[in-house]
């Protein structure tokens, strides 16, 4: 029996939807297979707030300009050069035409929020967040005739001599197609796989996004010889509130208090410069830093003067009138008091300026705190427990500029990939805020067009 579908899209997040819409617009008959039930559709994309966009002049809600070279330099800084320049520059250049395309397909934008992450020039914020974006794309896609099946987890990609033929679903169904777009995210929700890379410590990690990104199709493709990119230990991980749920806590569990705090591990020791740089440039390293501490936990301690300097998180801080009472509430050893006294004594005089690098640094302690170093002296005192929150993993499928997947050294005839599952091609390490959605939008659109071209 011939399949009613030309193109099968695996996944139901941003990259999948961009691919499906482009393909449907080109006249292809498209089926989206989303592992999650409908209320949880949209993967990690539904948690997002913005995407990073190049622009030569003011564009929609974006002010001034943000050119290709500045964008690329920002990427080089965070990845320490561990990127593919051709793919990266292509994504950056294409981002400019993505914004009007997104708007034309239902996405609404709003100016950036003020706060610790000041991104008004570089990142366009989605009105209503990622959930509204995902809902708008579903509406657009379905109005174009794209069929969507939920609770449709793909467990195997059928190929004959490098040619995709069908997918097998967990429920036993087999669906044929003439082209495949894989947009099923990273493998971060498979804690056992994370533990293979990180060791047993990974079992203590929290996963900020969807529990459905378990890398099932990634593993299946790698087993079938697909080329891989990225190191399995590389991922985007931030410090989140230790009280966050194991999965899907989303953006509200992120903690932005670190630059204004003293951070100690469970032994009461400081371990890194809390004020190394402005928070948008440092927040993505703190997940790994906390992951390297005993029991993968740390505590960010502030006094009353810093309480309102950062975006509040969903959980209120733990509070006490004295530092000793606070450390007892946190279950920390007496050593913590000594660490804070030593820190306080190392703070010098100077102007504290929370919105910029103020150079207010400690003297004579290791590690130093190089900005915003104010002694903790003003009760009440507050603390947040920090845990590593994994956003997404970087190990993925190797693709070329046309989003085509390679296997056993040659491009596959009719298989493309987009989004988190191939982002490691560009993000060798580090992260640039808003770049995940940019990669997914650019590559999703390319994959959809290429797949449609193939079946036309
Ligand atoms: C809390 C949070 C905040 C973030 N904020 C931002 C931000 O503001 N800006 C930004 O650029 N990035 C942000 N990111 C990263 C961003 O979410 C991702 O880069 C982006 O959403 C990836 O899109 P995607 O389509 O590749 O994956 P996803 O949106 O995760 O979609 C993958 C889809 O595949 C489905 N799936 C998985 N396995 C299977 C299977 N076997 N069969 C069928 N379906 C399957 C999942 O259910 C899911 O729908 C954030 C992430 C998190 C967790």
Domain with CATH 3.50.50.60 in the chain: 7-233+394-455
Predicted local distance difference test score (pLDDT) of residue 114: 64
Residue 116 pLDDT > 50? no
Q: Quickly state the pLDDT bin for 282 (edges 50, 70, 90).
A: confident
* Cross-sheet strand order for the sheet of 123-126: 50-52, 123-126, 109-110
Predicted local distance difference test score (pLDDT) of residue 118: 64
Predicted local distance difference test score (pLDDT) of residue 256: 92
Rounded to whole angstroms, how far apart are CA atoms 105 and 438? 16
Rounded to whole angstroms, how far apart are CA atoms 5 and 31? 6
Would you tell me how many other CB atoms lie within 10 Å of the CB of residue 378?
Answer: 13
* Cross-sheet strand order for the sheet of 410-417: 147-149, 30-33, 7-10, 179-182, 410-417, 404-407
Separation of 14 CA from ligand 1 center, angstroms?
Answer: 7
What integer is the mean pLDDT of 63-70?
95
Question: For 209-232, how does the pLDDT look when each residue is reduced to its tens digit (9 = 90+)?
Answer: 999 999 999 999 999 999 999 888
Domain with CATH 3.90.700.10 in the chain: 238-389
Ligand 1 pocket residue status of 49, Cβ below 6 Å: yes
Question: For 435-451, how does the pLDDT look when each residue is reduced to its tens digit (9 = 90+)?
Answer: 999 999 999 999 999 99
Ligand 1 pocket residue status of 248, Cβ below 6 Å: no
Residue 184 pLDDT > 50? yes
- CATH among 3.90.340.10, 3.40.50.10490, 3.50.50.60, 3.40.50.620 for 7-233+394-455: 3.50.50.60
Sign of the Cα pseudo-torsion (396, 402, 407, 413, in order):
positive
Q: Quickly state the pLDDT bin for 117 (edges 50, 70, 90).
A: low
List the residue whose alpha carbon is closest to atom 31 of ligand 1. 13
Predicted local distance difference test score (pLDDT) of residue 91: 98
Testing ligand 1's pocket by substitution, the residue of 13, 177, 244 carrying the most ligand atoms inside 8 A of its CB is 13
Residue 127 pLDDT > 60? yes
Residue 21 pLDDT > 70? yes
Separation of 45 CA from ligand 1 center, angstroms?
Answer: 4
Q: How far apart are the first and last CA of the chain?
A: 20
What integer is the mean pLDDT of 400-412?
93
SS3 (DSSP) at 419: coil
Please state whether 109 falls in left (phi above 0), alpha (psi between -120 and 50) or beta: beta
- What is the CATH architecture of 238-389? Alpha-Beta Complex (3.90)
Half-sphere exposure of 16 (CA within 13 A, CB side): 31
Rounded to whole angstroms, how far apart are CA atoms 222 and 407? 8
25 prior amide bond cis, ω within 30:
no
């Amino acid at each position: 029996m011939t399949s009613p579908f030309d193109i099968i899209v695996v996944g139901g997040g941003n990259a999948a939807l961009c691919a499906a819409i482009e393909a449907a617009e080109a006249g292809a008959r498209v089926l989206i297979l989303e592992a999650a039930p409908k209320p949880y559709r949209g993967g990690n994309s539904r948690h997002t707030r913005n995407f990073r966009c190049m622009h030569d002049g003011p564009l929609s809600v974006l002010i001034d300009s943000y050119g290709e070279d500045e964008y690329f330099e920002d990427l080089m800084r965070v990845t320490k050069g561990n990127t593919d320049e051709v793919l990266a520059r292509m994504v950056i250049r294409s981002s400019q035409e993505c914004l009007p395309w997104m708007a034309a397909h239902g996405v609404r934008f709003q100016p950036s929020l003020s706060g610790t992450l000041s991104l008004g020039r570089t990142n366009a914020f989605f009105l209503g967040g990622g959930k509204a974006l995902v809902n708008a794309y579903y509406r657009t896609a379905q109005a174009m005739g794209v069929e969507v099946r939920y609770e449709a987890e793909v467990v195997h990609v059928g190929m004959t001599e490098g040619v995709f033929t069908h997918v097998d679903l967990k429920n036993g169904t087999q669906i044929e197609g003439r082209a495949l777009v894989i947009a099923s995210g990273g493998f971060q929700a498979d804690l056992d796989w994370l533990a293979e890379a990180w060791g047993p410590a990974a079992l203590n990690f929290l996963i900020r996004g969807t529990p459905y990104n378990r890398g099932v199709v990634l593993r299946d493709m790698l087993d079938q010889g697909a080329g891989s990119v990225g190191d399995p230990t590389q991922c985007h991980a931030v410090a989140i509130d230790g009280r966050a749920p194991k999965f899907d806590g989303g953006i509200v569990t992120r903690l932005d208090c670190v630059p204004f705090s003293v951070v100690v591990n469970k032994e009461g020791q400081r371990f890194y410069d809390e004020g190394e740089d402005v928070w948008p440039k440092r927040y993505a390293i703190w997940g790994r830093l906390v992951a390297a501490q005993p029991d993968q936990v740390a505590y960010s301690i502030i006094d009353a003067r810093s309480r309102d300097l950062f975006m509040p998180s969903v959980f209120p801080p733990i509070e006490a009138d004295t530092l000793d009472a606070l450390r007892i509430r946190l279950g920390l050893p007496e050593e913590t008091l000594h660490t804070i006294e030593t820190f306080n004594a190392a703070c010098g005089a100077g102007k504290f300026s929370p919105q910029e690098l103020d150079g207010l640094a400690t003297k004579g302690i290791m590690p130093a705190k190089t900005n915003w170093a104010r002694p903790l002296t003003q009760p009440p005192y507050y603390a947040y427990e920090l845990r590593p929150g994994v956003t997404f993993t970087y190990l993925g499928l190797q693709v070329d500029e046309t989003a085509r997947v390679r296997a056993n050294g040659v491009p596959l005839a009719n298989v493309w990939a987009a989004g988190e599952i191939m982002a490691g091609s560009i993000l060798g390490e580090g992260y640039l805020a808003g770049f995940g959605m940019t990669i997914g939008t650019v590559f999703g659109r390319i994959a959809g067009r290429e797949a449609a071209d193939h079946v036309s």
